[in-house]
Amino acid sequence: MYFTRDPRPGRRLPGALSKVGLDIFVDPRREGPGINRLSIDTSLVKYVEVDGEEFLYYKLPKITVALIKGTTADRKGNISFDNMFMSGDALSICQAVKANHGKVIVQVDQLVDTPSRPRNAIIPGCLVDAIVVTEPEERNEAYTALTGSFEIPYEEWDAWNEKIDTASEKPLKNSAAGNIIGRRAAKELRVDDIVNIGIGIPEMVSRHAKKNGMLDMVTLTVESGGIGGFPVSGEAFGAMIGAASVYDMANQFDLYNNGGLDICFMGALEVDKEGNVNAHRSDGAFAGIGGFANITAKTPTVVFCMTFNTKGLEVTQKKGVVSIQREGSVPKFMERVKSVSFSAKRAIANGQKVLYVTERCVFRLTPKGLKLIEAYPGVDVQKEIIERIPFEIEV
């Protein structure tokens, strides 16, 4: 998980101190890092205090083997990633492995005689033990565009996103509820904001930011290292169309962990009466949390994009009027979430602004819990909001 991003694993430190994770599931005072009784290990994460401040101490794993995918290797073994839209944490992983006297194996598409420009060599040859050359995978024009090998003008971002989404095995669903949520959430953007947008419904925010003209006035980021441009949806999530810069994932989390974002848009499976959010655990399944905890821990404005309920929900919107045709059978607002991915208590203490944007209304987090600050035209506040929440909300 991303909690061990800083310091870098290549430094051979035994662990890392972080405030990310306090008061959420990974905190040993709550559930701890184990997801079942077989995986419980109390040594992995510890609660500590340093100079009167709270931290979690994360034990860093000892990595001894790295399997990396690059594009080319030159005669000295230097690895470039020219035909890939990200390098992830390839360099940090290789440094960590070599610090532990392990082996680094890199798969590339081709060998070249002429060394790449030094700035283009992501992994130096001295860190590589073995190189495996394989035939490159076939890629259509849409995916080639993600590498930044040719410029995509701003006015063409939408068209390229559609091409990539069409080529994806799992294209993003363009639901009415998703459009309502994305359109309303996008109104929270401000000029010059640095932004992160999560996967799923939050992806609709970037589409509506493009439509309302805000996309060209903010800077979007993705966890994989992209800055600027238009985040790709579907199975290519993590890539950017028209990125201004792409650097290592570890550097991106330096930005996130230190509060470098202005606003983020995240998904949510459940929300409870305190405003806590579960974004990683559902009945019988554990999705993992990814960078969610890091992003939401320090960002001044956090916007959760979620349907009011799910499984069967049918919604329409005509001329701004929302009509709930059919309610979903699975509620998302409940007395207590199954597991805490986002701590409302911690957010209030940090002075963060937190919104919960649904297809029918918007809530804001207060020290007392949720406050209804907006109901959309056509929505019956009493029957379609208040009576469907199992706890009291401020109106």
Active-site residue list: 223
Parallel, antiparallel or unpaired: strands 353-357 and 301-305: parallel
Q: DSSP code of 379?
A: -
User: Beta strands of 176-242 (E only): which ranges?
Assistant: 194-197, 219-221, 226-227, 230-231, 240-241
Residues in contact with 137: Cβ distance below 8 Å, sequence separation at least 6, in sequence order: none
Which tokens sit at 172?
A: 């993003």
Q: DSSP code of 342?
A: B
Distance (Å, whole) CA 2 – CA 89: 11
H helices within 215-280, ranges in order?
249-257
296 in Cβ contact with 3 (< 8 Å): no
Largest Cα–Cα separation, the chain? 71
- Token pair 């994806």 in the structure block, residue: 168
Distance (Å, whole) CA 282 – CA 337: 10
**Secondary-structure percent of the chain, ordered helix, strand, coil, rounded to 5:** 25, 30, 45
In whole angstroms, what separates CA 337 from the centre of its chain?
20
